[in-house]
Each structure stands twice: as C-alpha cells, then as structure tokens.
A and B are shown apart, each in its own frame.
Chain A
C-alpha cells in the first residue's frame, strides 16, 4: 500500500534511534566486562574498545583479575557473606509479610484500616530516620556487626512494600472462594495455607526476587549495621572500599564489580517476568 512506502523513511529513523539507545545503554556495562578480562597493562594503556580491532585473538584475555579479586581482595568471602545475609533476610520478610497481608486483606479486627494506612505511610520513610536509634540499641545488645541484626533490619525496611503488594493481591482474590471454604468448615488457617498461599505463588515469587535483589544490592544498611570489617562485609560494602583502595587498578576493579553483579544478572535474565510483574504491582496499583 501507498501508506507503507510513505512510512518507510520514518521507520528507518525509528530503528536507528532505537538501536542507538540500546548501544548507549549497554556500552558502559560491556566496557566493564571486557576490561575485567584484559591484562593489567592493556587496561591501563589502551581503551577497552580497541579489542574490537582483533576481537578473536583470545590470547589477550585472562581470568587472572578474577582469581586475584576473589582471593586477595576478599570478593570471594564477600560473596559468601552476601548470600548469608540475603537469603535469610528475604525469607524472613516474605513469611512475616504473608501472614500480615492476609490478616489485613481477609480478617476483621479493630484498627485494621488505620494500621494499614500506617503501613502505606511507612513505605516511603527514609531509612536515615532510623539509623541512629537502632545502631545504638544494636551496640548495647551486641547485635551490631552480626548477620542477625542485618536480617531483622532488612525485614523491617522491606515489610511495608511486601505487605502492601501481598495485601492488594489477597484482596483481589474473589470473595466467593473464601466464603464457600468457610461454609465447608474451613478455619482461617486452612483458608490461608490451602487457598490464599497456593493462589499467590506467582506474586510470592515476584516478591522473593524483589527483596532478594534489594538486599543483595543494598549498601547503606550493611554499611551502618555491619561496619567495614572484612569477615562480615557483603559485596557492595567490599566493592565500595575497593574503589578507594584499588584506585586506578581498573583491571581489578572491573573484575570485582562484575563478581558483585553476576548473581543479580542471572536472576534478572532467568526471572525477568516475575521481576517486572512485581514492579508493576507495586507502582500502578500504588
């Protein structure tokens, strides 16, 4: 059709614009990844894009930077710490949130609305408002510098959003299925464990991914409650101190940064759908 030919030129520009956006967006990460595989001298004396001149000359790539940051720079230890912090912090948050969200959505009790509005209000309170009092209590209780302290703090900071998302989901479930379950003699608990939870598996999955990435990528909470000591520091804290201590050693810094990103990238690429769903639920309905 005539219309099609008229549209050819704008469409050509459209593709050019979109592809340029993609190149611009991916370039910084690509540069980091390529540099992490190059030798010290190469990185310091030539731009990473020069590898495209002889891209398939594999002798220019090395894994040495990775071996060094994982052992000597402590990124291996930090990786373990990140796992030890993130997994429990995620599970605690989601479990506690599921119970509370169910109560807010499906149970009647005095103060239900005001309490839930409080949760909505707490969604945006800056973490900074809580750091000093909690750190003081932690110091007295000996919880500063321990994983337990960080798990609980992350649970507290993650709960409002988690409850908000799950409560919205639970209240969107059709009333009839709960009513007929109650008629059949089901208790609150049966309805929760046998009906609400199985139905909300996709939402729970989004929430787990969300909280996992949030805790994994957190810097501030770990910095405050764990301090900088290497035996407990997670990847973000370790990496940010390497930025200072490694300075211009870009071959190491890039490798260290990539180590800190590898797990989130895997999660992102394999579970992107759930991640996106979580974001949509959190914002459009919010």
Chain B
C-alpha cells in the first residue's frame, strides 16, 4: 500500500517538470523582466509600462485589438449561431457544415495568403485579379480599393479573415447545443402560435445561454492573442498593428526585452478575467 503513494507523482512528474519549466517559471521571469531595461541589466521601474501605454504604435495596437474584440467576437458568435440554426433545417446539413468548418483545418498563414489574394489590388483600367475588386468592378464607376492599405478598410479586411476561419468552430459547438434542446419544447411553442423569430429569441437563445458564453469566452481569448493573420498580411503596417505583433517586434526587431515583456504582461492581464471565468466554471461543474 505504501508503495502506491509514490506512483501518482511518477505519473504527473513529467507534466509538472515541463509545465514548471516552460510555463510557470517563464511567467514569473517575464514579470520580473518587464521592470528591467532592454538588456535586463538595470531596474527601470514602470518605464516600460509607461512606454507601453503611451507610445503611439501601442495605442494604435490597443485600438485595433478593441476593434477585433468587438467585431470578431460579435460576428463569429452570432454567425455561428445563425448558421447552426438554419443549417439544421436542411437535409444536406453535413456538407454545408464541412464547408464552413473547413478553414479551421488550415493554418492562419495559409488563410492569410488566401485572403491576401482575395484582396489583391490592380490599378483601375487593368483587369483585377483579386476576386473582391473583380466583383465590385462590375459596378459602374467603381474605383478598385487597396483593401489592406486603405486605412478605412484594412482592419476590417483582417478581422474578416479571422471571422472566416473561426465561424466554423463556433457553429460546431453551438450546433451541438442546439440539437440538445428538447424538440418538444420548440414544437409546443410553435403549436401555441409562436413565430420562428419568437422561438429563436424566447427559447433557443435562453436555452443556449451557457454554451454561447463558453464560445464567446474562447473567441475573446483568441482575439487578444491574434498574431499570425496580421503578421502575414500586413505586419502591422498602415495602422493595422495588434498587441501580439508589437510584442514580437519589440523582441526580435528592436531587441528590447524589457518593453516586450511589459507588453506580454499587459496581454496576460487582459486575459486573466477569462482565466478566472474558466476556473469558476470548472469549479462549479466539479462542485469543489
């Protein structure tokens, strides 16, 4: 019997070592580095944080992450929900779902190339090779738009790539929850004369509340960390910078480890509320 007591530690030993070395220690170390100068030699107090919150490039990054947070989350969750509900009504549902879900399988880098090509721009008068300008140029007097360069459109162009990738994920989860709603409930409402809209707002949404919350939390976490799409498509040029890409630049282009660390810490602080929500939800489920 006594011998058994050591085995649990043998089973989780490798995990503890790896998580300790690759996650726990670096988190503490990064916190420390964020108060040091670019070569981590001298203590500089809050200087890096002051930079992080005042430098113009960072303010643009914060603004863009906020844009992502609002539009990406709103559209992935609501489109995912709408798709889940309407696809459920047709017999070819599996095919349709596969098509929308497909982008989840490919890399963000690949998706970046796909969409850079969709947004491709040629001057007016020459044939367009990007399909977006190609379709729009059928409209009389339309001037082709440099979607990724034009400051009015570029952030939304990038956000749409994110939406294209992640809607499938939201749809799959929401669809499972939707199919879990007892059919009698919906039928009963219809028999009582409820319109489809009423069924949607009064039954479907309330019944799926907790799943919608889970999906929205996941999307918010994703959006705060968004990096690949921006790195590949614009690398933050023309005011499309985001926090994670800025951190990469401070680290690799400017070799300022203090500033890079402080940006990472800010990212962590933004994500901590989501972490608390996750832990609370877990504890509730396990009732511990």
Contact = CB atoms under 8 A, between A and B. Distances in A.
Nearest to B268: A129
A126 B8 contact: no
B116 A243 contact: yes
Contact of B18 (A18, A124, A156, A261): A156
Interface residues of B, number: 94
Interface string A105-128: 001110011010111111111111
Kindly name the residue among B4, B106, B261, B282 whose own CB sees the greatest number of chain A CB atoms within 10 A. B106
B264 A133 contact: no
A27 B108 CA distance: 17
Contacts of B4: 188
Given A47-B134, A124-B275, A133 B29 contact: yes
Classify the secondary structure of A's interface with B: helix
Contact of B12 (A21, A103, A253): A103
Contact of A156 (B19, B102, B105): B19
B15 A133 contact: no
B128 A279 contact: no
B98 to A, nearest CB: 7
A18 B96 contact: yes
Interface in A140-192: 152-153, 155-157, 159-160, 163, 188-189
A166 to B, nearest CB: 11
A152 B131 contact: no
A240 B231 contact: yes
B23 A124 contact: no
B19 A159 contact: yes
B214 interface: yes
B106 A261 contact: yes
Contact of A254 (B22, B101, B113): B113
Interface in B43-100: 83, 86-87, 89-90, 96, 98-100
B8 A125 contact: no
B105 A213 contact: yes
Given A22-B99, A159-B19, A284-B214, A99 B11 contact: yes
Given A107-B8, A217-B107, A250-B117, A125 B27 contact: yes
Interface residues of A, number: 95
B285 A125 contact: no
Contacts of B96: 18, 21-22
Contacts of B16: 115
Nearest to B243: A128
Kindly name the residue among B15, B25, B281 whose own CB sees the greatest number of chain A CB atoms within 10 A. B15
A272 B27 contact: no
Contacts of A49: 131, 134
B90 A15 contact: yes
A279 B172 contact: yes
A66 to B, nearest CB: 15
A175 B283 CA distance: 21
B89 to A, nearest CB: 6
A135 to B, nearest CB: 8
Kindly name the residue among B33, B117, B271 whose own CB sees the greatest number of chain A CB atoms within 10 A. B117
A58 to B, nearest CB: 21
A54 interface: no
Contacts of A223: 248
Interface in B218-276: 218, 221, 224-225, 227-228, 231-232, 244, 247-248, 251, 257, 260-261, 263-265, 267-268, 271, 274-275
Given A133-B25, A243-B232, A286 B117 contact: no
B117 A21 contact: no
Contact of B176 (A109, A155, A216, A280): A280
A27 B130 CA distance: 11
A134 B106 contact: no
Contact of B261 (A43, A132, A267): A132
Nearest to A103: B11
Given A217-B106, A239-B113, A100 B99 contact: no
B182 interface: no
A35 interface: yes
B145 interface: no
B211 interface: yes
Contact of B22 (A99, A130, A272): A130
B109 interface: yes
Contacts of A250: 117, 120, 129
B142 interface: no
Nearest to A153: B22
A2 to B, nearest CB: 15
Given A11-B89, A14-B90, A219-B109, 9 more contacts: A28-B117, A45-B127, A99-B11, A127-B225, A133-B25, A156-B21, A189-B7, A220-B248, A280-B172
5 contacts: A25-B99, A130-B22, A268-B105, A272-B101, A285-B285
Closest 6 CB pairs of A and B: A156-B22, A217-B107, A268-B105, A130-B26, A103-B11, A109-B8
